Amino acid sequence: MSIGKIGAYFDERADTWNEQAEPASAKHLMVAQLAGVHEGSRVLDVGCGTGIMERAYLELDASSIVALDLSEKMLACARETFADVPAERLRFECRDILDYTNDEPFDAVVIYNAYPHILDKAALVAATASLLKPRGRFLVAHGMGRDTLNAHHSSVPHDVTSDLLPAREAALDWQDTFTIDMLADTSFAYFFGGTRK
Ligand SMILES: C[S@@+](CC[C@H](N)C(=O)[O-])C[C@H]1O[C@@H](n2cnc3c(N)ncnc32)[C@H](O)[C@@H]1O
């Protein structure tokens, strides 16, 4: 896996990311709620990019949000957008989820629009489990359906992304460690999630 290449790929796109990114919307609130985020939650946002999900977590009164990304430039945009939010509440870190550790476990780990770019799924499942509280919830979700996303990624190099598999198939990687209790794979929605066993 080429982490440097993935970070560099998104560094190059950081300046214009918000022009093509989804506008903040009820969809982000729905994703955050599907991930079980509520007042007082501790949330880990994996592959946060320019911070598209953070408003939803703040609006739901999450008490602590850690947002990780490999791309310093994506994070620079995110930090600028949320400069007025105290770091105790929202912290952006340039880290790879696969070797991230944290002293306090999270209630929710959200992987939004980032799953295809994290190529080692077994390592991702293990990292997610190690970062969650017992019964903590993970959610893999996308802002568009699988076929649309895979078509969108058709020109992206294979060491930067992977095809999104049918959600039922993708969830198999998670089912030994998590109880999968939600899943959708339609032309407009793709998500699966569950709680740590
Ligand atoms: C398609 S962007 C999505 C960004 C944001 N979630 C959004 O919806 O706009 C995927 C992001 O995941 C990040 N990423 C990829 N692999 C990662 C890893 N192993 N750890 C942390 N972030 C990663 C990339 O740098 C990139 O910014």
Give the chain's domains with CATH numbers: 3-196 (3.40.50.150)
- Out of 48, 95, 148, mutate this one to test ligand 1's pocket (max ligand atoms within 8 Å of CB): namely 48
Split at pLDDT 50, 70, 90, the class of 1 is very low
Whether 192 and 140 have beta carbons less than 8 Å apart is answered as: yes
Q: Which of 118, 121, 144 to mutate to test the pocket of ligand 1 (most atoms within 8 A of CB)?
A: 118
Give the ligand 1 atom nearest the CA of 69.
22
In which band, very low, low, confident or very high, does the pLDDT at 64 lie, cut at 50, 70 and 90? very high
Query: Is the pLDDT assigned to residue 60 strictly greater than 60?
Result: yes
Instruction: Give nearest CA residue, ligand 1 atom 4.
Output: 49
* 10-14, 22-26, 60-64, 141-145: range with lowest mean pLDDT: 22-26
The 8 Å CB, 24+ separation contacts for 34-38 are: 34/139, 34/141, 34/182, 34/191, 34/193, 35/108, 35/109, 35/110, 35/137, 35/138, 35/139, 35/141, 35/193, 36/107, 36/108, 36/137, 36/139, 37/62, 37/107, 37/108, 37/110, 38/62
Determine the average pLDDT of the residues in 42-58. Answer: 97
The protein residue whose alpha carbon is closest to atom 12 in ligand 1 is: 47
Ligand 1 centroid to Cα of residue 7, in Å, is 8
Which pLDDT value is given to residue 25?
Answer: 82
Q: Whose CA is nearest to atom 8 of ligand 1?
A: 113
Identify the residues whose C-beta falls under 6 Å from ligand 1.
6-7, 10, 21, 46-49, 52, 68-71, 74, 96-98, 112-114, 117-118
Provide the pLDDT for residue 108: 98
User: Is the model's pLDDT at 2 over the cut of 70?
Assistant: no
Query: Ligand 1 centre from 162 Cα, in Å?
Result: 13
Residue nearest to atom 13 of ligand 1 (CA): 47
d(C-alpha 105, C-alpha 80), whole Å:
27
Q: What is the pLDDT of residue 19?
A: 76
Distance of CA 46 from the midpoint of ligand 1 (Å)? 7
Q: How many CA atoms lie within 13 A of 64 on its CB side?
A: 7
